Chains A and B, each alone.
Chain A
Amino acid sequence: MKISATDLNKIYKKEQALNHLSLTLEGNKIIGLLGKNGAGKTTLMRLIAGHFQPTSGQLEINGQSPFNHYSITRDVCLIQENYNFYEKFTIDDILKISAVFYPNWNASEAEELVTLFKLKRKRKISALSKGMLSAVGIIVGLASHSPITIFDEPYIGLDASYRSTFYDLLLQSYQEDPRLIILSTHLIDEVSKLFEEVAILHDGKLLLHEKAEDLAENHCIVSGPVKEVDKAIEGKQVLHQSTLLGQKTAILYDQEIDGNYDSLTFSKASIQELFVYLTKEEVVKHGDRN
């Protein structure tokens, strides 16, 4: 499957949610779609699922627009944070409808998952707790076996233990049936090891899209005595730096350090740390503002 966005714009509720976004996601991979609140992630995922049309630009799946094309959208399963299911339906109803809607639906897998998450099939959606609702979303997402499966913050209300179960299930399901899985979450530290690729949106644009391993290789944290660090990072683009007790730490992205520095140590940041440094708004002290 191939999702391609070209110069994609979406104005949603009078806000420019996506701003000339170009991005290609393809292959059977688990891809992390990251971004701060309001970066445009949910808008992009809903465009992929065909919920609405772009304001301008193209969004295509295998060369076709998903909007109003069931031949495309039946291959896409989007599980959102909430409002996935009609409130008056029971879990049983949801499973039956999903079986009709998703061509690759795996009923026995869905059954097993209902048991695993200890759900009561006769319960109405409106009577479920947040955690149980998330579990239903996860079950539908996994059992759909959709060629494009998208989870947008799928585990609100799920505790750390069930979240870990979800990661196990996701990996297992992916290994048995490799497909394009897009996972969007703010709990980056928990899931970053699951990603093969990472795409970060910022202000409706693509900030970066890389293999997770390359992201790890393309940056470094340099620390050591202030003078030495300053010498090493002179003229480089620095993501973040801080100094304390005569020691300095600087994070570089996409930059080589040349030369030999005995007194410096080099280490790696997590994807979550990198994400924070790449997208964070700096706090300005009162009085420093112009």
Chain B
Amino acid sequence: MTERLNEDQPIFIQIAELIETSIVEGDRLANEQVPSTNEFAKHYQINPATAAKGINLLVDQGILFKKRGVGMFVTEDAKQIILAKRQERFYTHYVQPLLQEAKRISLTQEQLLDFIKEGFSHED
């Protein structure tokens, strides 16, 4: 988790998304501990209350759970919850801007699809 914070979104949301990404990418598995409020505060030089708000957001969504006196842990369903959430917004967050730019620079549907196929073929 060394990504830098930016100005485009409230910091607590960025903290929540950093944790989510680490869970989706398999860096943090179910029942593993995530960094504490204080660790986030120190690493990113942010107010601990801000870090706590980001973490609590994930608790509310069933992605993290609290073990009293120990810390915050990843729930069993965390990955599924995050995948569902992120897949749902994939169209508006990624596809729509992609189509907008494609239109702007006169890319055809075929060219766009070719790019995507090419991208997938480089995957392995």
A residues in contact (CB < 8 Å) with B: 29-30, 164, 167-168, 171-172, 174-175, 193-196, 212-213, 216-217, 262, 267-270
If A168-B45, A175-B41, A212-B47 touch, whether A193 touches B5 (CB-CB below 8 Å) is yes
Beyond contacts A171-B48, A268-B10: 6 other A-B pairs, Cβ-Cβ < 8 A, are A174-B48, A175-B48, A196-B49, A196-B50, A213-B53, A216-B11
Q: Which of B5, B47, B48, B96 has the most CB atoms of chain A within a 10 A radius of its CB?
A: B47
- Roughly how many angstroms separate A94 CA and B48 CA in the complex, as a whole number? 31
Some 29 contacts from A to B, beta carbons below 8 A apart, are A167-B45, A168-B42, A168-B45, A171-B41, A171-B42, A171-B47, A174-B48, A175-B38, A175-B41, A175-B48, A193-B11, A193-B45, A193-B46, A193-B50, A194-B45, A195-B47, A196-B47, A196-B50, A212-B50, A213-B10, A213-B12, A213-B50, A216-B10, A216-B11, A262-B96, A267-B8, A268-B7, A268-B9, A268-B10
Scan B51-88; emit 1 where CB is below 8 A from any A CB, else 0: 00100000000000000000000000000000000000
Least Cβ–Cβ distance between A194 and chain B, in angstroms? 5
B residues in contact (CB < 8 Å) with A: 5, 7-12, 38, 41-42, 44-50, 53, 96
- Roughly how many angstroms separate A137 CA and B36 CA in the complex, as a whole number? 31
If A171-B41, A171-B42, A172-B42 touch, whether A193 touches B47 (CB-CB below 8 Å) is yes
Q: Which residue of B lies closest to A171 (CB)?
A: B41
Q: Which of A29, A174, A175, A213 has the most CB atoms of chain B within a 10 A radius of its CB?
A: A213
Interface of B is mostly: helix
Contacts of B47 in A (CB 8 A): 30, 171, 193-196, 212
- Roughly how many angstroms separate A30 CA and B50 CA in the complex, as a whole number? 11
Least Cβ–Cβ distance between A189 and chain B, in angstroms? 9
Least Cβ–Cβ distance between A263 and chain B, in angstroms? 8
- Roughly how many angstroms separate A164 CA and B12 CA in the complex, as a whole number? 21
Q: Which residue of A lies closest to B11 (CB)?
A: A193
Q: Which residue of A lies closest to B49 (CB)?
A: A196
Least Cβ–Cβ distance between A54 and chain B, in angstroms? 30
Q: Which residue of A lies closest to B46 (CB)?
A: A193
Contacts of B10 in A (CB 8 A): 213, 216-217, 268
Nearest first, the 6 closest Cβ-Cβ pairs linking A and B are: A216-B10, A193-B46, A270-B7, A196-B49, A196-B47, A167-B45
Q: Which residue of B lies closest to A195 (CB)?
A: B47
Contacts of B9 in A (CB 8 A): 268
Least Cβ–Cβ distance between B8 and chain A, in angstroms? 5
Q: Which residue of B lies closest to A170 (CB)?
A: B45
- Roughly how many angstroms separate A135 CA and B12 CA in the complex, as a whole number? 31
- Roughly how many angstroms separate A213 CA and B41 CA in the complex, as a whole number? 15
Q: Which residue of A lies closest to B42 (CB)?
A: A171
In contact, B44 and A193 (Cβ under 8 angstroms): yes
- Roughly how many angstroms separate A212 CA and B8 CA in the complex, as a whole number? 14
